[in-house]
A and B are shown apart, each in its own frame.
Chain A
Amino acid sequence: MEALRLSRRDAIASLAGLPALSALAAALSACGKKDIRGLPFDGRIVGPDVARGHLLRTGDLLSRPAVRTERVGTAIVGAGISGLSAAWRFARALDTDFRVYDLEEAAGGTAISGANDVSAFPWGAHYVPVPASPNRALEAVLEEAGALIGRDASGAPEWAEEMLCREPEERLFFGYTWRPGLYPRDGASHDDLVQLARFQREMNVLAARKDSKGRRAFAIPTRLSSDDADLAALDRITMAEWMRTRGYTSPRLLWLAEYGCRDDFGTNLEGTSAWAGVHYHASRLPGEDDDEDASEFLTWPEGNGRLVALLAKSAAGRLSASSLVFDVVPAPKPGAPVRLRVLDAARNEVVAVEARHAILALPKFAAARVFAPWRAAPPAFLADMSWAPWLVANLTLAARPEEKGFPLAWDNVLHDSRSLGYVVATHQSGPEHGPTVFTYYQPFTDEAPAAARAKLLGASWEDLASAVLADLSKAHRDLPDLITRLDVVRWGHAMARPTPGFLSNSVRHLAPSGGVHFAHADSASLPLFEEAQDAGVRAAEAILAARGVRFASLAAG
């Protein structure tokens, strides 16, 4: 535990820009390089456009007059997965009377990706688990992506082998070497292994459990989960408490459980609702035996950027990028339009939009500044919501690091680190040698999100790059010599944190209001592709139904 705390402080301190510590981090990482601050490679801070987003805070925009008024059937605000999925749903219903607005230059939200000479790489979300239960919308998108290639005699989907995560899937740097899998088995005590087996059995039982209505205990999307009282009660305690009450005390098992929370939610054990913490393990298909994780992942070099590109095709010609929607006024009476105002950042002019419907596919902290009624009276649910800041770095390497132990995997996790380690962008595309790109993920789980966010957004590229290097140099001492570029993205609000009570937050019952629908993965659900897609598809279908369009629902469940 001491090592954990030290490394955490190390990373945070260097982010905070404490000169001595960050210099130390740089010195450590540069590994004998002459100039302490000079990193031997290029890089920069890549979007999102924090300044543009912050224009919403002051309210100055509200006083600016519109230069013209446009009209559209449905205005979709936000081109993340939920907004793009709504566009995709409209396009499938042959309804093209919509427009998608996003303040960034590129669509995708936190699933955006990048590319260079070496490889495409993700800047955020980078995989989708193979669906554990039938999900029409998800299967339709995966079929379009070429991932679902057919069905067997029983109707079960068959997946494209080259899009399923290749072996070796994951490895752990523990002690002084890389080991297979995520759980540190070497040196585990008998009690450690007994607790692990008990934990896995318990998760398998929960994964297989169905309620009297036939609903899974922990489903994806979460709204399809059982609401049995004993399950709902899990949302009232933290994952840490749950582990304690179930007698799980093994430090290795606690590490594994917390890794799951940090990985999917950007929260630590104390900050995660037990319902969410259990969901991570029990929403997947039960393993065939205790050792085997049966769940499989679909992934691509650019991560979910592959799906973003596919969904964005539905919005081709109907996507307004660099367009900040700063005001949405619901229709005062049936038949009246929803009124929106948009800052076209390229031309620096404000455009008014009249829409029959709007979908606010924004995180709620942003929606609260955009949606006029919420500006007037902040919604109650907001007080209990918070968002986790994340740092994502892409390290372009001239060659693979020299290393010992288990070979390079897709997901490479460092046990004694508060980062999540890195994913190898070229893992799926095949080359086993030569240049590659590592995508490094670091959620800030251990202090108040606002404080961590302020440090993250205040840090320079040198601070961030040094912190990444200091962290990874535990496992890869030759990294500074191999890196040709290191770019970083600072996600101030990467994902909504599923803290205790998130499931019963009143945001869950948020209903359309005055022609405005709400679609985002932060409405009492988890920060997953499937949730965002489900929210977008259902909002689009609600509008299609309101318009009297006949369609067969694709919504899961």
Chain B
Amino acid sequence: MGNGEGSAGPGAAPALRPGPVYLAVLLIASCGLVYELVAGTLASYLLGDSVTQFSLVIGVYLSSLGLGAFLSRYVERGVARRFVEAEIAVALVGGLSAPMLFFAFSSPRWFPPVFYGVIVAIGALVGLEIPLLMRLLKGTVIFRDLVAQVLTFDYLGSLAASILFPLVLLPRLGLTRTSVLFGLLNAAVAFWSIRLFRDRVGPPGGLFARAGIVTAILLAAFVVADRLTAVAEENQYADEVVVARTTPYQRIVVTRNRAGFQLFLNGHLQFSSVDEYRYHEALVHPAFAAAPRARRVAVLGGGDGLAVREILKHPEVESVTLVDLDPAMTHLATTHPLFLALNGGSLRSPKVRVVNEDAMIWIEKEPDLFDVVLIDFPDPTSYAVGKLYTSRFYSLVKRKLDPEGVVCVQSTSPLFARRSFWIVDATLRAAGFSTRPYHIAVPSFGDWGFILASAKPVEVRPRLPEGLRALSTELLPSLFVFGPDVARIDDVPVNRLNDQVLVRTYEGEWKRFD
């Protein structure tokens, strides 16, 4: 701790030792840059288009630094006290910036003013502090050295932050904890400065009290950081965000890392390009092996086009109807280079018809019958999705199915959500289907389950297209074997529109693994 020794001349405060002040400059600079990076990351995550977001954040932040420097000339007396107050304010605003922006994001009307307000406030406060510190050191150090040293430490602090942020802070702590942690660091600098400038700040009681309150608020925020954001999305920020879009139906986020790219819908991983082939081969080909004919195929959900890619490996397929609620999703799958590379432009095939509609509403009015129906909805995390797992929905599917046709339903993990998986099976049987459940390991998800269903008993013949990576005719029968920890539960209820047991069961089962 700075132990400001030195002889005090009559009427003047004792001279400052510059060393501790340079350290303060370093810390202040690194905190400022971290807030800037937090804001930029959050904006590119929440709004997408990271180049625009980062360039706007940097521009606004730097100009706000200038604004703060300009304002510093209006501080005439009590320089040290103003510095400490600015430091306490940065601690509060910067420390709570991530949680504040998360909250503000839920309101499109309020997000932009809150977002830029936070950046300008932090920039102006940090911009105010450096000139104030320089004025405090004036007379202690030769001006030439003062400028050189202060700016050196300022930029060194920025360098430290810019290296730590992507490599350590974001992956280890996440956005919220990082911002709160640096707020605490600012608060610590405030405490330290009160001591450091104790001969210049005037009565310290009020400053200590304010710094103490801010520290308490930040400590509380640090403890409840998980609940503050309450989104499973935190852990995705570590990767580069390629697409982030909020549509009327859902939130679509695509991230990229060294291994490949990932699609998240409402914060839930839909696929990782590394191992999605295991999932999609398992979703598609067993149904084709069980169906006597596969000329007319429907895919419900699956707007990423990956299931359709597998379907088109069967030359007998004449038409594929893809029903996905969100036009933004199918548009992405039809136009984005990453998606096109992975799905091979499957949705652009002349055999494919894309329908953007709620599958429940579409299926009631669809006149055609299908030989194969692949049901690839997100897991039943809400009533709105849960309705697509009900006996009502399955009986509507049955009406649209050729008498010998086959359905395959992605049915969540029989390991993580064992009861949920068998509820889907029971619900299909309640709708009059015979079922054949099976499962396969998909590393990104874990052990993943599917259910084949048909009006007639399901017979899976050893018949697969060439060139598959995960499935082989030898392997196929083994997928239908369930070990003791995933084995059938007989005593499960049926999921009905008016009693959606699946949504509640699923939520409870996944909680155990979070």
Q: Which residues of A contact B (CB under 8 A)?
A: 161-162, 164-169, 296, 399, 402, 404, 407, 429-434
Contacts and interface: CB of A to CB of B under 8 A. Distances in A.
Contacts of A164: 496-498
Interface stretch (B134-142, B235-243, B381-389): B381-389
Given A402-B107, A430-B360, A162 B500 contact: no
Interface of B: 106-107, 248-249, 325, 358, 360-361, 382-384, 386-387, 390-392, 395, 496-500, 503
Given A161-B390, A161-B391, A162-B392, A432 B384 contact: yes
A402 B360 CA distance: 23
A161 to B, nearest CB: 4
Contacts of A168: 383
A167 B358 contact: no
Given A161-B390, A162-B392, A166-B387, A433 B249 contact: yes
Given A161-B395, A433-B248, A434-B248, 9 more contacts: A161-B390, A164-B496, A166-B383, A167-B500, A167-B503, A296-B498, A432-B384, A433-B249, A433-B358
A399 B108 CA distance: 15
Given A402-B107, A430-B360, A433-B249, A167 B384 contact: no
A164 B382 CA distance: 19
Contacts of B498: 161, 164-167, 169, 296
B257 to A, nearest CB: 32
Contacts of A296: 498
A399 B386 CA distance: 22
Contacts of A169: 498
A484 B409 CA distance: 39
A162 B383 contact: no
Contact of B497 (A166, A399, A402, A404): A166
Contact of A167 (B107, B248, B383, B395): B383
- Which of A161, A168, A296: most chain B Cβ within 10 A? A161
B361 A430 contact: yes
A228 B318 CA distance: 71
B383 A407 contact: yes
Contacts of B497: 161-162, 164, 166-167
Contact of B358 (A161, A404, A431): A431
Nearest to B361: A430
Contacts of A404: 106
B496 A161 contact: yes
Contacts of B360: 430
B505 to A, nearest CB: 13
A350 B503 CA distance: 61
A169 B498 CA distance: 8
Contacts of B395: 161
B106 A432 contact: no
A161 B495 CA distance: 11
Contact of A432 (B358, B496, B500): B358
Contact of B382 (A165, A407, A431): A407
B35 to A, nearest CB: 27
7 contacts: A164-B498, A167-B386, A169-B498, A399-B248, A407-B382, A430-B360, A433-B325
Nearest to A298: B498
A430 B390 contact: no
Contacts of B499: 167
A169 B499 CA distance: 9
B102 to A, nearest CB: 13
Contacts of A167: 383, 386, 497-500, 503
Nearest to B360: A430
B351 to A, nearest CB: 28
A402 to B, nearest CB: 7
Nearest to B109: A478
A142 to B, nearest CB: 15
B273 to A, nearest CB: 29
A432 B395 CA distance: 20
- Which of A162, A164, A169: most chain B Cβ within 10 A? A162
Nearest to B248: A433
Nearest to A406: B383
Contacts of A407: 382-384
B364 to A, nearest CB: 8
Nearest to B500: A167
